[in-house]
Amino acid sequence: MKNTIKNIAALFLIFVFSGSIANAQGWTVPNSAKKKQNPYEATSKNISSGKKIYNLHCKSCHGDPTMANMIPLAPVAPTDLGSQNFLVQSDGEIYYKVNKGQGAMPTFEKTISDEDKWMVITFLRSFDKNKKMKQQVAEVKNPEVTDVKFELNVNEADKTMLAKLSGVTKKGKRVGLQGIEMSFLVKRSFGYLDVSGEDPYTNESGDVQIQFPKDLPGDREGQVNMLVKVTDDAFYGKLEEKRVVTLGVPTDPVNPLDERAMWGTRANAPIWIIVTFVGGVLAIWSVIFLVLFQMIKLPKLAKNKD
Amino acid sequence: MKEETSNNSRRKFLKSFGISVGAAGVVSSFSLIGAAKAAAKKPAEMVNLLTQDGQLVQVDKNQLRPTVNEPLDELQKRGREGIPGKSFVMVIDLSKCRNARKCMSACQNHHQLRADQHHINVLQMQDAEHTAPYFMPKPCQHCDNPPCTKVCPVDATFKRQDGIVLIDNERCIGCRFCIAACPYSARIFQWTEPKDSEKYKDLTYNIEANVPQKKGTVSKCLFSADRLREDKLPSCVSACPNGVYYFGDRNEDAVTNGTTGETVRFSKLIEENAGYTLMEELGTKPRVYYLPPKNRAFEFNGDLLNEENLH
Ligand code: SF4
Ligand code: SF4
């Protein structure tokens, strides 16, 4: 009887154990999830917004796609998400894994939106050698240009900024470049706040206009440090401009030490505390002196009585 | 007080000087070339010193400097004043915390704490019998109306202009009134010799990191005030792998996530996620804001909790 129980227990253990080994090696995705299709097209717009989200949420562990510069985590290092081994998976499979997470890979089910997840997958697909051809969708094509630059116009009255992106064609004509994403970033203490808004892509004439937030604090004069750049270096190399603009709300920082408060140190204790304390000390000492004085007078009084 | 500190550094200087003459000093911070040049000009008394790589060298006695990088007075002064124009705040997103405890170990590394001492502690919370449990990291709240500074009899703990509440271990007499006054149990007392006290004993005391820690004094979270001076995020904020922490300047209305590096509007973040502060009914006005543990990224898993870490 005892033996049977032992055997059953052993069998059970083996079963559990083998199950966990299988789990550690592979990552099974239900068939239904594999079939899910990416609803978004592989336009350069989607790819570059996917890259942005990738850099924010995935890069810190997985590194840059195809560069194999992931962080070396043990026991399982993160995969290079641009490798062909990874990209043989269907969109649905990748989507499922991003959602669920496993081990050190967190779940992103609730932390990033569905649209953003598909954008990341679109971005990763752009490294796929097999699917690349088929995924190219007809897009506006900019002519080949040199000397690409942008001009920045700031309208302080209605707090807008206009960037005009242009390049010189082979014929020597300067033309606007269309459909390129620009980033408008405001310098803050520990990073850049993106104020580009929903659709910061250049139009047919190479213009993009953004509305600066009306309530964003600047310094005492309302000045803020802006960094404007072409979001994706892959198009025309690094293009950026730093500028101080007076678009913020003038803000006077309050120094909490300016007011006297209970929590302040001796230097800014409330007046009433100082008065009560000093008054109390004075009162007590005067009573003591009064008593002493009276006591000195006692012998005199006694003499007088005699 | 000042008198005492300058005496202190003079004592330190004499000490290191004595060691140097004994040819056992560490020479790396002295300029050997400068010393050689000076010696060429006017031969003065030379001392033998042993370099870190075991070479015996001669150095002009006049060139000797104590190995103190920044004088204590300067560190104390700027530590008391704080960074002008700033008003630091932290936002902790409880829906993303899975008890990874990376914040705690980063903090303990930074501030010379043993594994059982916490400036920040991840707690397992359950508000009522039928509510869902969750993990909650709890640093000092850097209250805008701090009860702790009110009770200190020697002006050792104080609030500075950027909102950070610090402790001056050169002044603290270890009365522990502040520990009793703090409603968030944010403060710890150094009952024994601190970890690595031998290693750090020659370090100048930096009030903004509270290192080296001192036996018989109080310590607590400092929002990594020394790192903020270099525009770096606090240790815990940058160590979190799950994007739990945001940190920034309320005057700029922006906070930056330590994991993703994304900067967002502070007011929007709080408004859109129904941010709250701990025990606001006490009127302590905390500077640490919490986003509720709803729509959690991770299942609550009590098994992850290492009981030994909970003190
Ligand atoms: S949390 Fe405690 S230690 Fe920190 S400021 Fe508030 S009362 Fe003081
Ligand atoms: S323990 Fe130190 S910091 Fe706290 S109240 Fe006493 S002297 Fe002040």
Q: In chain B, what are the domain boundaries?
A: 2-63, 73-310
DSSP-assigned beta bridge partners for residue A183: A229
B225 CA distance to ligand 2 middle (Å)? 19
At the second CATH level, the architecture of B73-310 is: 2-Layer Sandwich (3.30)
Looking at the partner chain, which of B146, B252, B259 has a beta carbon nearest the beta carbon of A60? B259
Q: What is the CATH number of the domain that holds A240?
A: 2.60.40
Per-residue pLDDT of chain B (311 residues; tens, 9 = 90+): 444 444 455 445 444 444 444 443 334 334 444 444 444 455 567 777 766 566 677 777 766 655 555 688 889 999 999 999 999 999 999 999 988 889 999 999 999 999 999 999 999 888 888 888 899 999 999 999 999 999 999 999 999 999 999 999 999 999 999 999 999 999 999 999 998 888 888 889 999 999 899 999 999 999 999 999 999 999 999 999 889 999 999 999 999 999 999 999 999 999 999 999 999 999 999 999 999 998 887 777 775 554 433 33
Give the nearest chain B residue to A255 (CA atoms): B161
How many Å apart are CA B96 and CA A283, to the nearest integer? 59
Long-range contacts, B33-39 (Cβ 8 Å, 24+): B34/B63, B35/B59, B35/B60, B35/B63, B36/B60, B38/B62, B38/B63
Q: For residue B43, what pLDDT is reported?
A: 54
Instruction: Please provide the average confidence, as pLDDT, over all residues in chain A.
Output: 84
Q: For residue A128, what pLDDT is reported?
A: 83
Please check whether residues A104 and A154 belong to one and the same domain: no
When scoring B161, B263, B295 by the number of chain A Cβ atoms within 10 A, the one with the most, hence best to mutate, is B263
How many Å apart are CA B9 and CA B12, to the nearest integer? 5
Q: Are B297 and A109 an interchain contact pair (Cβ–Cβ within 8 Å)?
A: yes
Cα atoms found within 13 Å of the Cα of residue A132, Cβ hemisphere only = 8
> How many domains is chain A partitioned into structurally?
2
A17 exposure class (CB count in 10 Å sphere: 0-12, 13-18, 19+):
exposed
Q: Which residues of A touch B161 (CB under 8 A)?
A: 255-257
Q: What is the CATH number of the domain that holds A68?
A: 1.10.760.10
For residue B198, which amino acid is it? E
Please check whether residues A106 and A189 belong to one and the same domain: no
Regarding the beta carbon of B177 and ligand 2, being less than 6 Å apart is answered: yes
For residue range A122-159, list pLDDT tens digits in order. 888 888 887 654 445 546 678 888 889 899 999 999 99
Count of A-B CB contacts under 8 Å? 94
Give the 3-state secondary structure of residue A252. Answer: coil
Please check whether residues A39 and A75 belong to one and the same domain: yes
Please check whether residues A122 and A169 belong to one and the same domain: no
* % of chain A surpassing 90 pLDDT: 32
Please check whether residues A118 and A159 belong to one and the same domain: no
Please check whether residues A49 and A126 belong to one and the same domain: yes
Q: What is the DSSP string of chain B?
A: -HHHHHHHHHHHHHHHHHHHHTT----TTS-HHHHHHHHHHS---EEEEE-TTS-EEEEEGGG---S-SS-HHHHHHHHHH--TT--EEEEEEGGG-----HHHHHHHHHTT--TT--SSEEEEE-SSTTSPPEEEEE-----SS-HHHHH-TTS-EEE-TTS-EEE-TTT-----HHHHH-TT---EE--SPPTTTTTTTTSPPBTTTTBS--TTSEE---TTHHHHTTTPPPHHHHH-SS--EEEEEGGGTEEEETTT--EEEHHHHHHHTT-B-TTGGG----SEEEE-S-S-SS---GGG--GGG--
Q: Does A108 touch chain B (CB under 8 A)?
A: yes
Residue ID of nearest Cα to ligand 1 atom 4: B140
Describe the strand order of the beta sheet including B263-265 as a list of residue ranges: A240-245, A224-230, A182-188, A191-194, B263-265, B254-257, B245-249, B88-93, B288-291
- pTM, 2 dp: 0.74
If you search the block for the tokens 């005699």, which residue do you land on? A306
Count of positions (residues) in chain B: 311
Q: Are B256 and A190 an interchain contact pair (Cβ–Cβ within 8 Å)?
A: yes
How many Å apart are CA B97 and CA B240, to the nearest integer? 9
Nearest to A224 by CA among B192, B68, B8, B251: B251
Please check whether residues A152 and A99 belong to one and the same domain: no
How many Å apart are CA A120 and CA A82, to the nearest integer? 11
Q: Are B256 and A194 an interchain contact pair (Cβ–Cβ within 8 Å)?
A: no
Please check whether residues A154 and A115 belong to one and the same domain: no
Regarding the beta carbon of B106 and ligand 2, being less than 6 Å apart is answered: no
Domain-ending residue, one of A195, A230, A245 = A245
For residue A40, pLDDT over 80 is answered with yes
Looking at the partner chain, which of A190, A215, A219 has a beta carbon nearest the beta carbon of B231? A190
Q: Which residues of B touch A216 (CB under 8 A)?
A: 253, 265
Q: Does B98 touch chain A (CB under 8 A)?
A: yes
- Supply the range of the domain harboring residue A69: 26-135
A168 CA distance to ligand 1 middle (Å)? 61
For residue A216, pLDDT over 90 is answered with yes
- Residue B307 and residue B140 in contact, taking contact as beta carbons nearer than 8 Å: no
How many Å apart are CA A134 and CA A153, to the nearest integer? 40
DSSP-assigned beta bridge partners for residue B229: none
Please check whether residues A175 and A207 belong to one and the same domain: yes
- Nearest Cα of chain B lies from the Cα of A211 at a distance, in angstroms, of 16
Q: For residue A3, what pLDDT is reported?
A: 57
Please check whether residues A48 and A102 belong to one and the same domain: yes
Binned at pLDDT 50, 70 and 90, residue A9 comes out as: low
Helices A44-57 & A114-125 angle (0-180, nearest 10): 110
A285 domain-assigned: no
Q: Are A189 and B248 an interchain contact pair (Cβ–Cβ within 8 Å)?
A: yes
Q: How far is CA B262 from the centre of its chain?
A: 24
Q: Does B202 touch chain A (CB under 8 A)?
A: no
- Nearest Cα of chain B lies from the Cα of A197 at a distance, in angstroms, of 13
How many Å apart are CA B120 and CA B238, to the nearest integer? 14
Please check whether residues A104 and A177 belong to one and the same domain: no
Q: Does B296 touch chain A (CB under 8 A)?
A: yes
Q: Does B242 touch chain A (CB under 8 A)?
A: yes
Q: Does A57 touch chain B (CB under 8 A)?
A: yes
Please check whether residues A170 and A223 belong to one and the same domain: yes
How many Å apart are CA B63 and CA B32, to the nearest integer? 9
Q: How far is CA A305 from the centre of its chain?
A: 91
Binned at pLDDT 50, 70 and 90, residue A8 comes out as: low
Give the 3-state secondary structure of residue A157. Answer: coil
Q: Which residues line ligand 1 (CB under 6 A)?
A: B 140-143, 146-148, 165, 182, 184, 186-187, 220, 284
A294 domain-assigned: no
Q: For residue B225, what pLDDT is reported?
A: 95
Region A199-215 average pLDDT? 91
Q: For residue A107, what pLDDT is reported?
A: 79
Q: Which residues of B touch A265 (CB under 8 A)?
A: 149, 155, 158
